[in-house]
Structure 1
Amino acid sequence: MRILLQQRPDGPEAPRFVQLQLEADLLGGWTVIRESGQIGKRSTLKREQYLDQASALAAFERARDQTLKKGFQLVFAQGVDAPN
Structure 2
Amino acid sequence: MHVHLQQPAIGNEAPRFLRLSLQPDLLGSWELLRESGRAGARSQLRRELYLQEQEARQAFEKARDAELHRGFSIISSSA
Compute the TM-score of the two structures, normalised by the length of structure 2: 0.96
**Structure 1 gap ranges (5+):** none
How many residues align structurally? 79
Aligned alpha-carbon RMSD (Å)? 0.7
CA displacement, residues 5-27 of structure 1 (integer Å, 9 cap, x when unaligned): 00111122210000000000111
CA displacement, residues 22-69 of structure 1 (integer Å, 9 cap, x when unaligned): 000111100000010000011111000000100000000010011111
**Structure 2 gap ranges (5+):** none
The one-letter code matched in structure 1 to 2:22 is L
Compute the TM-score of the two structures, normalised by the length of structure 1: 0.90
